Structure 1
Amino acid sequence: MSGEEGFDRRIEPFRTELFAYCYRMLGSVHDAEDLVQETWLRAWRAREQYDETRGSLRTWLYRIATNACLTALKSRGGRPLPSGLVAESDPLAPLVPGEHAWLQPLPDSLLGADDPAVTVIDRSSLRLAFASALQHLSARQRGTLILRDVLSFSASETAEILDTTVASVNSSLQRARARLRETGIRQELVGEPSAAEQRTWVERYMKAFEAADVEAIKRLVTEDVLMEMPPMLNWFTGRANYGLFMNWVFDAAGTEWLLREVTANGGQPGFAAYRRVGDVHQAHTLQVFTVTAEGIDRNSVFQGAEIFAAFGLPAEIP
């Protein structure tokens, strides 16, 4: 391939979808960004070796990205969420921090709303529940399932990307699908409300949260709602338990909050919560919701300066 500027123009349209791929593989926004940069560097160094007659540019780039991801995963475990790792806890039990690396939420702003590549990204495959389920697969099973079932590469293309045989791809895919079924998570979200309807549910939740109205909050969540809060190991289910926990939150952290809307993981609505401390509001939690036609079904609550930074949010607001 000749012409450095021409090479840059040809590979640039794949940047966003490769970033989404690396996020699914690693479960980390920061790692995904680093691996896309690594992919670009490797592709640049090998640009003269690319042979258009032997395969598409997209397949070639995915092979480079996959190799980078698999190398990175040799020294790292999966990034699950607490509900997929430990037993359910009492909603009023002391919060217990875990030593694990947890799945991080993906800011939709990093997908580039004006990027044409976003239209070809399967949004359901970025949802927190599905992304967390992927973390329970081995690295190669994860790559196989994403390449085949999410990105729709053929078995032969997947074998080329993974540098293996079609038989090995088919076997790995069967094991990955079986393991995913055990988690109870499906990629497709049947009956998911429209984006506007989901945002309406969360806006009502935000008003109730700002008013510290626990009864109103309970009316907005489903009977079997799940709440988890990495890096804490604690998680629980049920509307009554949710109410008990929210009463504790407002008793412990006060009732003066500022909230900022966010959107994560391919369209999941949420908000950043800032707690009043003295003359400022300090970053407290970033909450991402799964919404069904019956209400809010899951609240994944994240903490940490790196989470707020990834969403371009300040650490405090005067």
Structure 2
Amino acid sequence: MSEALGDIEAYRPDLVALCYRMLGSVHEAEDLVQETYLRAWRSRTSFEGRSSVRTWLYRIATNLCLTALQGRARRVLPAGLGTPGEDPDVPLSASAPLWIEPFPDDPAQVAEQRWSLRLALVASLQYLPARQRAAFLLREVLALPATEIAGILGTTVPAVKSALQRARARLDELAPTPEKLTEPDSPEAREVLAKYIAAFEAADIPALTRLLRDDATLDVVPTGLSLSGKSLCVPFFTEHVLTAPGHYRMHPTTANAQPAAVAYYRDTTSQPYRPFGLAVLTTDATQLVSITTFMEPELVARFE
């Protein structure tokens, strides 16, 4: 093997991002990338250099993902369930589908790749058959030629091109285009995020109402709640969430190449704040298009 292990460690962030897009889970992605490196180490003497080390690692990681996806249901966001959760305070039963997890942004991720980490697209990718999903990611995100993709997937170039055509057509039906979304580090996105945090901390329903676009959506994990339209979102926030100021404290962050906020919560102003979860926002630069809230306290430490 022509490169030292210290050199191939540089591929880890891209491998984790690839596996995350395939699986919709950060924890699974990290585990499979670790397994990728173990397999690479064990087979290092058989690596003959007929492909680049990068392609060799992608081959191992992609096939581990394909194996992991066999016979299992896709991960979803609440909107993908088709029906809203009945009670916003009660998680769905254990038989509910697995949820897509939020992804911590990597500053090294180039702009051309960041769009493919957005929650809506990751959710849409899960609707593709696994091999179509892999072909799309290897071509559109990692820019591998069809010949290399065919080698990774053990198929032919015409089969790869056919899979790409079908994947693009399906995603055109499901996913937003990158041009419609605002980068999380833009001044416009930061301003929208700041207004969202201020409205939440002050329980300012009028301010939040002005911030929501008429067609704004709200998804809540793990309750399965999914609301579409300002006319449904505002009453929910009024009755169940922003009942009084001082319950929430938030800090800005980014997740899935989107503006986000980690949240702390307390029942009364005499109590200390405790980790609550993460809100991932989509904005059109002036208003909120969607809010995906993960009521998972362990995410606070990962994203703070």
Q: TM-score normalised to the size of structure 2?
A: 0.90
1:6-48 CA-to-partner distances (Å, cap 9, x unmatched) read 4213312211111110110111110111011011111111111
Q: Does the C-alpha gap of structure 1 residues 128 and 245 become closer, same or farther in structure 2, counting only changes over 3 Å?
A: same
2:56 equivalent among 54, 60, 64: 60
User: Paired residue for 1:28?
Assistant: 25
Question: Which ranges in structure 1 are unaligned for 5 or more consecutive residues?
Answer: 314-318
1:1-318 matched pairs, under 5 angstroms: 1=1, 6-52=3-49, 54-87=50-83, 94-95=87-88, 97-98=91-92, 99-108=96-105, 111=106, 113=107, 115=108, 118-119=109-110, 122-183=113-174, 185-190=175-180, 192=182, 195-250=186-241, 255-266=246-257, 268-277=258-267, 279-311=271-303
- Give the AA of the match of 2:180: V
Q: Does the C-alpha gap of structure 1 residues 306 and 75 become closer, same or farther in structure 2, counting only changes over 3 Å?
A: farther
Moved more, 121-130 or 255-264: 255-264
CA separation in 1, counterparts of 2:16 and 2:83? Answer: 32
Q: Contact 1:124–1:189 (CA<8 Å) still a contact in 2?
A: no
- Give the AA of the match of 2:38: L
Q: Contact 1:274–1:285 (CA<8 Å) still a contact in 2?
A: yes
Moved more, 134-143 or 167-176: 167-176
Q: Contact 1:125–1:187 (CA<8 Å) still a contact in 2?
A: no
Q: Contact 1:25–1:143 (CA<8 Å) still a contact in 2?
A: yes
Following superposition, the deviation at residue 196 of structure 1 comes to: 2.3
Q: Does the C-alpha gap of structure 1 residues 254 and 294 become closer, same or farther in structure 2, counting only changes over 3 Å?
A: closer
Following superposition, the deviation at residue 68 of structure 1 comes to: 1.0
Following superposition, the deviation at residue 192 of structure 1 comes to: 2.7
CA separation in 2, counterparts of 1:182 and 1:121? Answer: 21
CA separation in 2, counterparts of 1:40 and 1:78? Answer: 25
1:112-169 CA-to-partner distances (Å, cap 9, x unmatched) read x3x4xx2376110001111111011111111011111222111111101111111221
CA separation in 1, counterparts of 2:181 and 2:295? Answer: 30
Q: Does the C-alpha gap of structure 1 residues 31 and 290 become closer, same or farther in structure 2, counting only changes over 3 Å?
A: same
RMSD over equivalenced CA pairs, Å: 2.1
For the residue of structure 1 that corresponds to 2:279, the secondary structure is strand
Q: Which runs of 4+ in 1 moved over 3 A?
A: 250-255
Question: Which ranges in structure 2 are unaligned for 5 or more consecutive residues?
Answer: none
CA separation in 1, counterparts of 2:181 and 2:200? Answer: 26
Following superposition, the deviation at residue 174 of structure 1 comes to: 2.0
1:52-89 CA-to-partner distances (Å, cap 9, x unmatched) read 2x111111110011111111112532211111221357
Percent identity of the aligned residues? 43
For the residue of structure 1 that corresponds to 2:180, the secondary structure is coil
Following superposition, the deviation at residue 298 of structure 1 comes to: 0.5
For the residue of structure 1 that corresponds to 2:58, the secondary structure is helix
